Structure 1
Amino acid sequence: MGEEPQDMKGRILKPTELVSYQDGSVVSRMITYTPQGTTTMFAFAAGSGLSEHTAPFDAVLQVLEGSAEVTLAGENFQVVSGDMIILPANIPHAVHATVPFKMMLTMIHA
């Protein structure tokens, strides 16, 4: 870890190894950044999360490890490893890890 996004281009990456769990915390690591969008890896300790918020762009949340509860416009969804959910722009959403949980978030700046 500690590599800059440009150092990761043209290599095989193991997404679950790009971020590590830290007790009581949410750890994030941006792995791509362009004017068109970003890709960020997250590791959530059990019981941690992101409080309800909105984003100005659509985002795709892909579960890499564990499970979590995603709240989208007041509706709760249980997501597990292998699942994806699209978070529409300007719609309130939140993420709460029920167990240690890793995800990849791809935000499309359109």
Structure 2
Amino acid sequence: MFKNITLSEIKQLENEVSYQPNQVSSKTIAQNKYVSITLFSFDKDEEISAHKSKGDAMVTILDGKSKITIDDKEYVLSKGETIVMPAGIPHALFAVEKFKMILTVVFPNE
């Protein structure tokens, strides 16, 4: 089930999470054992250091520009671009400029 978002209403997702000075902010809109959907905002130069996920993680940039590192390979993404970070592979995110994204993680059936 969705939470923290109004149902049956047209949304501009980038407006659902605000930039905060010197912070990474997030708003979870769905989470269960199969999927997690979270909106994020990163102030410029903020980051999430390298880590692994148990599920495949898809990032879509809603605003701004991010450098995403997947297994030591760097990708620079801008508004409207998407990349999938495979499960079990180290990945990190860095705000080249302030940016917003939606993160969808799909977990394996166990």
- Equivalences for residues 56-71 of structure 1 within 5 A: 56-71=54-69
Task: Report how many aligned residue pairs link the two structures.
Answer: 107
Question: Which ranges in structure 2 are unaligned for 5 or more consecutive residues?
Answer: none
Once the two structures are TM-superposed, the CA of residue 35 in structure 1 deviates from its matched residue by: 2.8
Deviations 1:4-28 (A, max 9, x none): 8165233222101111001110001
Deviations 1:54-90 (A, max 9, x none): 0110010000000010000000001110110001001
Runs of 4+ in 1 over 4 A off after TM superposition: none
Equivalent in the alignment of 1:47: 45
Equivalent in the alignment of 1:10: 8
Equivalent in the alignment of 1:82: 80
Q: Which amino acid aligns with 1:13?
A: K
Q: Which amino acid aligns with 2:38?
A: T
Question: Which ranges in structure 1 are unaligned for 5 or more consecutive residues?
Answer: none
**Shift in CA distance, 65/6, structure 1 to aligned 2, threshold 3 Å:** closer
Pick aligned residue for 1:98 from 93, 96, 99: 96
Equivalent in the alignment of 1:33: 31
**Alignment partners' CA distance in 2, 1:7 and 1:67:** 24
**Alignment partners' CA distance in 2, 1:87 and 1:70:** 9
Given that residues 4 and 27 in structure 2 are in contact (C-alpha distance below 8 angstroms), is that contact kept between their aligned partners in structure 1? no
